[in-house]
Amino acid sequence: MVSRFVKALIKTSRPGVPSPCFQFSFYPEDKLCVGRTLQEYLKVTMGYRSSDQLFLCTQRPFTPASNQTLSRWLKLGLKLCGIDVTKFKAHSYRHASTSKVFSKGINVDIILSCAGWRANSGVFAKFYNRPIETVSEYQDVVLSR
């Protein structure tokens, strides 16, 4: 398992609340294994990293990637999967993954925790727990057919 703490201030940061820690287990199929890919990425980029920021730009001087760059990369991933990026954006990953795991029977408390929402948050119920419009496209995005 690979773990990574979020050290920057994020939307849900508050005094007395620990920073979130993302944990990625190893998946049997290498091409789909986020944990192994992250482990290798950290090893390869270690010499270029001067801050705690995870993602670096792909060209010298390999500065930390901005939010806009990350959003562009996520949209490119959607486009490469054949998904209409005029309809779906970078934030669509969050909707797709939370809705998908809920439909597979994952406990709502686990979903809220993994998404960084408080236990009494109404965000998932109000905005995310919606029917998936184009199941095959979304399922491809969240690595499940």
122 in a structural domain = yes
Domain that holds residue 121: 84-145
Same domain for 38 and 92, yes or no, is no
Q: Which helix (H) or strand (E) holds 23?
A: strand 21-24
Q: 100, 93 in Cβ contact below 8 A?
A: no
Tokens of 55: 């993602």
Residue 16 lies in a domain: yes
Q: Are residues 94 and 143 in the same domain?
A: yes
pLDDT means over runs of 10, the chain (145 residues): 74 71 84 90 90 87 92 91 86 81 85 76 69 52 57
SS3 at position 57: coil
pLDDT given at position 144: 56
Reduced to 3 states (helix: H, G, I; strand: E, B; else coil), residue 77 is: helix
Q: Would you say the pTM of this structure is higher than 0.75?
A: no
* Cβ contact 39:30 at 8 Å: no
